[in-house]
């Protein structure tokens, strides 16, 4: 260690160590992707320099064209990548190549089980990046200098990937980053021109930055001098993929481009590439990832599109182009109308952005519709990963409510599975003759709602009911009033009216029963006066004795629980008590002369109905006391 080079040895953040370990063990069968990752970073570095030089042209220093050069040395067993992009300062190096700044990383790493097979799929949620160098190298040296800093402020970073790294200040006359990979003994194959060229063509052809390999020199003829100058050859196509016509782009190119911009390791599920001309002019290329990133629900997680203006990279994570409920979409938008010095603040206010946002949102929804229609299996995967996020849509995006509703998937009484696979369109196609409503029931869990007494009459009549058990479902349904002209009906709410699904005879019979039970209704009202808002004869039940319905305007159980959990005061509301006149217990109750016992039985029925609805009892001890009293009386 010497004072003038300020050499320092630092430890990697714990998460980096874990990531390195995970990566090396997950990616052994696909090692060559390290090159894609490093080239992707170099390309980003060139984009950043181009952008910063708009305001500060002096950053371009020598003015030489931006490029990345890949060289190798078979004897020394090294591969070197040299870019003239933005480079890094000492501080940049220590944070970017020593820590992982993404929020939630530590939580994510806690999911590691230590079982390599199980853990290896997690890497897909994380992305690999710079550290992938250690898949093939047992030592990595980075020499870098940030554009604009003096030559004496270059930095040398070096690590064997085993827990620590060294940084030292060096002289680096050329700006940018040179990465030297000291290949592991059994990875020597990468120190080879042919191999490198193939890997670059395979994964990085779409990179807009020229990737240059040294031209192989023909051996100098006798008496001739070998040329002193190195000659370079660009091996990739080096044009922005999204500017090329769709018909010329292969699926593999779209996929590799996604991995570059999405920092993802897996192929996307779908994409949509469009060129818009007319009043507004822009290109967009939008992707649906196959897997949710680990930080999908972190508030600060990166989201938004990569913004270019006339091919010049402007910013990552431009959030103004898509609504929040589509935050999982990755992609690029390249506008001809925006100014090169557009900022995040301007983006938020610009009316051009609003109309682009509207159009891009529609493109995404169309892309998802197509996926659902043409690739139902893939759509299932999409729904598992992103369904919860899409459910935020109807509240956020009123204009597209119907379209979003069509993309939603639920469990239902039609399927005997907890998997959410039923769409509203399919539901309506199966609807009964005369059914002009979409019936649903919300609750805690699939196991609980699928046996709910609220479903009894629907079972009897063969009417399908959607079962909604995600935490946000009740909230979602407060924004969804209808689909395809059919209103939604919560089967646990209000006075169930099956409309045309009940025949005239049914209705007449119901009225007659109700009349004959008026006395019982009054007695129950008296017994349950403090606990219920109303008592009535039910026509929802076939097997259970009683049920609790929620008042038309009252908060449901889920909403109440959410509000209570967030510390808000929830208005007290009393449920409606409905009883099944044909049930033997009710008949018994009706004939019960002893007022005390009538009261006990009524309270027990009430509490049981609350339990069946998934609610907790206000006074469980009271329930137990009354029940035991009855049991004792029974057994004597
Ligand atoms: P990611 O690219 O997903 O952010 P990486 O681990 O690949 O993660 O890289 C971490 C950071 O290191 C980058 O975001 C960038 O700031 C910096 N970096 C990596 N390679 C280069 C490079 N060639 N030139 C400049 N900065 C780089």
CB hemisphere CA count around 27 (13 angstroms): 28
Question: What stretch(es) of the chain map to CATH 3.30.565.10?
Answer: 5-218+229-234
Q: According to CATH, where is 1.20.120.790 located in the chain?
A: 504-635
Crossing angle, helix 595-612 and helix 620-635, to 10 degrees? 130
**Residue pLDDT, tens place only, 490-502:** 999 877 778 778 7
Q: How far is the CA of 130 from the centre of ligand 1 (A)?
A: 6
Q: Which residue has the tokens 């808002």?
A: 533
Strand 576-579 relative to strand 534-537, pairing: parallel
Alpha carbon distance 610, 448 (integer Å): 12
* Ranges in the chain annotated CATH 3.30.230.80: 241-379
Inform me whether the pLDDT recorded for 540 exceeds 80: yes
With H, G, I as helix, E, B as strand and everything else as coil, classify residue 189. Answer: helix
Classify domain 409-501 at the CATH class level: alpha beta
Q: Residue 567, by phi and psi: left (phi above 0), alpha (psi -120 to 50) or beta? A: left
Beta bridge partners of 158: 141, 166
Cα 290 to ligand 1 centre (Å): 23
Ligand 1 site residues, Cβ closer than 6 angstroms: 41-42, 45, 83, 85-88, 96, 127, 129-131, 177, 263
Ligand 1: residue whose CA is nearest its atom 21: 41
Q: What end-to-end distance do the CA atoms of the chain give, in Å?
A: 92
How far apart (Å, rounded) are the C-alpha atoms in residues 115 and 100? 22
Per-residue pLDDT at 2 exceeds 60: no
Q: What is the mean pLDDT of the segment spanning 117-126?
A: 74
Dihedral sign computed on CA atoms, order 154, 155, 156, 161? negative
Rounded Cα distance, 210 and 576, in Å: 72
Q: Which of 195-204, 361-370, 489-498 holds the top average pLDDT?
A: 361-370
DSSP 432: P
H helices of 74-114, in order, are 90-96, 105-110
Distance, CA of 325 to CA of 365 (rounded, Å):
11
pLDDT (average), residues 102-130: 77
For residues 15 and 617, what is the distance between their CA atoms, to the nearest angstrom? 45
* Residue 219 pLDDT: 66
Residue nearest to atom 1 of ligand 1 (CA): 129
Under 8 Å between Cβ of 20 and 131: yes
pLDDT score of 391 more than 80: yes
| CA 38 to ligand 1 centroid distance, Å | 8
Spell out the residues 6+ positions from residue 118 whose beta carbon is closer than 8 angstroms to its own. none
Domain covering 5-218+229-234 in this structure, CATH number: 3.30.565.10
pLDDT band at 225 (very low <50, low <70, confident <90, very high): low
Tell me, what's the pLDDT at 296? 86
CATH code given to domain 504-635: 1.20.120.790
Of 6, 34, 4, 3, nearest to 166 (Cα)?
6
Q: pLDDT, tens digit, for every residue of 269-320? A: 999 999 999 989 999 999 999 999 888 888 888 899 999 999 889 999 999 9
Nearest-CA residue for atom 19 of ligand 1: 41
Which tokens in the block code for residue 77?
Answer: 């067993």
Spacing, Cα 28 to ligand 1 middle (Å): 22
The pLDDT of residue 3 is above 70: no
Identify the pLDDT of residue 614.
78
Cα gap 151→279, rounded to integer Å: 47
- If one looks up domain 241-379 in CATH, what number appears? 3.30.230.80
Mean pLDDT computed over every residue of the chain? 91
Hey, what are 202's tokens? 């395979």
- Can you list the pairs that 14-19 forms with residues at least 24 positions away whose Cβ atoms lie under 8 Å? 14/106, 14/109, 15/99, 15/100, 15/105, 15/106, 15/109, 16/98, 16/99, 16/100, 16/131, 17/163, 18/109, 18/112, 19/100, 19/109, 19/126, 19/131
Residue-wise pLDDT tens digits, 560-583: 877 888 888 887 888 999 999 999
Residue located nearest, by CA, to atom 17 of ligand 1: 96
Strands 154-159, 176-183: parallel, antiparallel or unpaired by DSSP? unpaired
Q: Is the pLDDT of residue 589 over 80?
A: yes
410 pLDDT above the threshold of 70: yes
Protein residue closest via CA to atom 25 of ligand 1: 87
Residues in the chain: 636
- Give me the residues paired with residue 23 across strands: none
Reported as a pLDDT band with limits 50, 70 and 90, residue 126 is: confident
Whether pTM > 0.85 for this model: the answer is no
Nearest CA among 127, 154, 144 for reference residue 266: 127
The CA–CA distances, whole Å, from 62 to 55, 65, 84, 111, 176 equal 17, 9, 10, 48, 12
C-alpha to C-alpha distance for 561 and 18, rounded to whole angstroms: 38
State the span(s) of the chain assigned CATH 3.40.50.11260. Answer: 409-501
**In the prediction, which pLDDT does 341 show?**
83
For residues 34 and 204, is the Cβ–Cβ distance under 8 A?
Answer: no
């Amino acid at each position: 260690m010497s004072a003038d080079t300020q050499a320092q040895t630092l430890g990697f953040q714990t998460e980096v160590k874990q990531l390195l370990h995970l990566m090396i063990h997950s990616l052994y069968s696909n090692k060559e992707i390290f090159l894609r990752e490093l080239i992707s970073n170099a390309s980003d570095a060139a984009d950043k320099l181009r952008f910063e030089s708009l305001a500060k042209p002096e950053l371009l220093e020598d003015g030489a064209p931006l490029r990345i050069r890949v060289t190798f040395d078979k004897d020394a067993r090294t591969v070197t990548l040299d870019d003239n992009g933005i480079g890094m300062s000492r501080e940049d190096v220590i944070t970017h190549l020593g820590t992982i700044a993404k929020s939630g990383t530590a939580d994510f790493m806690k999911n590691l089980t230590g079982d390599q097979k199980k853990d290896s799929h997690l890497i897909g949620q994380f992305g690999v990046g710079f550290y992938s160098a250690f898949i093939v190298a047992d030592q990595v040296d980075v020499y870098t200098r940030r554009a604009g800093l003096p030559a004496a402020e270059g930095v040398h970073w070096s690590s064997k990937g085993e827990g620590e790294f060294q940084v030292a200040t060096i002289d680096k006359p050329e700006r940018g980053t040179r990465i030297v990979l000291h290949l592991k003994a059994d990875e020597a194959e990468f120190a080879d021109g042919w191999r490198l060229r193939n890997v670059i063509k395979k994964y990085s052809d779409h990179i807009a930055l020229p990737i240059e390999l040294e031209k192989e020199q023909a051996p100098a003829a006798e008496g001739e001098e070998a040329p002193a100058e190195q000659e370079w050859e660009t091996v990739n196509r080096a044009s922005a993929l999204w500017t090329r016509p769709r018909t010329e782009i292969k699926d593999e190119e779209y996929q590799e481009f996604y991995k570059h911009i999405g920092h993802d390791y897996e192929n996307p599920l779908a994409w949509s590439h469009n060129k818009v001309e007319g009043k507004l002019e822009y290109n967009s290329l939008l992707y649906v990832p196959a897997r949710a990133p680990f930080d999908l629900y972190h508030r600060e997680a990166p989201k938004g599109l990569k913004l270019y203006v006339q091919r010049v990279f402007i910013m990552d994570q431009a959030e103004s182009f898509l609504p929040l409920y589509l935050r999982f979409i990755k992609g690029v938008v390249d506008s001809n109308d925006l100014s090169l010095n557009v900022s995040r603040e301007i983006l938020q206010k610009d009316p051009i952005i609003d109309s682009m946002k509207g159009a891009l949102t529609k493109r995404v929804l169309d892309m998802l519709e197509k996926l659902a229609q043409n690739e139902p299996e893939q759509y299932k995967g999409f729904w598992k990963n992103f369904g919860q996020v899409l459910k935020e849509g109807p509240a956020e995006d009123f204009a597209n409510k119907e379209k979003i509703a069509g993309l939603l998937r639920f469990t239902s009484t039609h399927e005997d599975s907890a998997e959410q696979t039923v769409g509203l369109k399919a539901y309506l196609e199966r609807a009964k003759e005369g059914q002009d409503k979409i019936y649903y029931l919300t609750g805690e869990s699939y196991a609980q709602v699928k046996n709910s007494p609220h479903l009894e009459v629907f079972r009897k009549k063969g009417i399908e009911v959607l079962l909604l058990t995600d935490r946000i479902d009740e909230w979602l349904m407060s924004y969804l009033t209808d689909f395809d002209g059919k209103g939604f009906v919560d089967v646990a709410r209000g006075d169930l009216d099956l409309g045309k699904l009940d025949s005239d005879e049914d209705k007449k019979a119901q009225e007659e029963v109700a009349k004959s039970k008026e006395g019982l209704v009054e007695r129950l009202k008296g017994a349950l006066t403090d606990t219920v808002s109303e008592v009535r004869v039910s026509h929802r039940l076939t097997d259970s004795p009683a049920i609790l319905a929620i008042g038309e305007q009252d908060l449901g159980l889920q909403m109440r629980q959410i509000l209570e959990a967030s510390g808000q005061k929830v208005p007290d509301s009393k449920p409606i008590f409905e009883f099944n006149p044909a049930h033997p217990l009710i008949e018994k109750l009706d004939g019960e002369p002893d007022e005390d016992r009538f009261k006990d039985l009524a309270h027990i029925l009430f509490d049981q109905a609350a339990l069946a609805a998934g609610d907790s009892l206000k006074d469980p001890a009271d329930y137990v006391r009354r029940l035991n009293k009855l049991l004792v009386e029974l057994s004597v």
